[in-house]
Amino acid sequence: MNLMRSLVVLTGIAALSCTPARDMASQARTGEPPRYAGGVADTLPVGAIPDVLLRDNDRNKDIRVNIEYPVRPGPHPLIVFSPAFRLTNRDYVGLSSFWAGRGYVVIRTSHADSGVEDSQTPADWRNRVRDVVHTLDSLPELARRYPELDGRIDVAKVAVAGHGAGAQTALLLGGVRTFPGAVSYADPRVQQVVAISPPGPSEWRGLTAESWTSLSVPALYITGSADQGVAEVETPEWRRQAFTLSPAGDKWLVVLPGARYGTFTGRFDGVLQAAARERARTNPVNPNDGMVDRNNQRISRAEIAGMRQQDLFNLARGLSLAFFDAYARQDGEGRKALESAGQRTGVVIEKK
């Protein structure tokens, strides 16, 4: 294996979770297996292949992807991840490394609208779908180019996940249609979808109340009570309509209390949090300095808010893993973890 090309890393890097003690406390309260706690427990080594270019001659473009895979022998189920508009595939390593460290090959795609500030068009939605389809078409090529992937991808167990605009990408590939014309983008290789901060009906996205009627694959919707989009109409209630409009049959909704749109990237500034801790330890006590006592330490309120968002992120990725396990692996423990999620204070879990 080319060490410059593929490096072995540990998923659930400590910087991605600053609160392992609270993970353990959560497990004690719910009886949840460490695998689904969403923290650093139960992690396995993975390999990473960064910045792979896939050439799509039909559209005369390159698609940049990042790949993470379990080091242990395969084959392993595949998750293709589509990022949100204005974000890139590099913004979701907290999700992808977590999934890969628990037995999934994860390919994070990029799109032409990734990291740009321009408005999206219907062509962007279609091209996002084609980016993922081309990625799936390229799996044999990837196995040839990177021998470390040969035999590690189970092409019969494919899921697509996404955040924001990426959630719509995943849903379209799972069977959601756009209107007018009831256009289908479904790919038969996609067997389950995870839609994080999903869209509801939206005329400019081509989504109506009828769009979801053809979604037949298992789907998990994850949102938060504070999951507000840039547009005023993109409210948490609007996002929940995606679940409401979906037909019955292996559809799940998770609503996390206080989770925001940015919560699901897992990008929390550890440097600033460390600085806040240091300032709390060294500054004189001032009742008006915005600091609070916590376990005999002076910690900023902003840091506590960040820790809360980190906890919510951990919960989101733990439940997404439970969903993947329940359907890709037919694992009863994953289903039980989903069903018991509502035992947590404020968490809403619905199934139909």
- Residue keyed to tokens 């659930």: 12
Q: How far apart are CA 339 and CA 322, in angstroms?
A: 10
pLDDT at 85: 84
pLDDT per position as a tens digit, 251-290: 999 999 999 999 999 876 554 555 555 556 655 555 445 5
Half-sphere exposure of 220 (CA within 13 A, CB side): 31
Strand, helix or coil for residue 285: coil
**102: pLDDT strictly greater than 90:** yes
Q: List CB contacts of 137: < 8 A, sequence separation 6 or more.
A: none
pLDDT per position as a tens digit, 203-220: 989 999 999 999 999 999
Strand, helix or coil for residue 87: coil
Token pair for 266 = 């897992």
Q: Judging by beta carbons within 10 Å of its beta carbon (0-12, 13-18, 19+), is residue 58 exposed, middle or buried?
A: exposed
Q: CATH topology for 7-351?
A: Rossmann fold (3.40.50)
Could you tell me if 131 and 107 are in contact, meaning their C-beta atoms sit under 8 angstroms apart?
no
Q: How far apart are CA 77 and CA 127, in angstroms?
A: 25
Percent of the chain with pLDDT over 70: 78
**Residue-averaged pLDDT of the chain:** 84
Q: How far apart are CA 135 and CA 158, in angstroms?
A: 12
CA R_g for the chain: 20
**348: pLDDT strictly greater than 50:** yes
pLDDT at 266: 86
Half-sphere exposure of 139 (CA within 13 A, CB side): 21
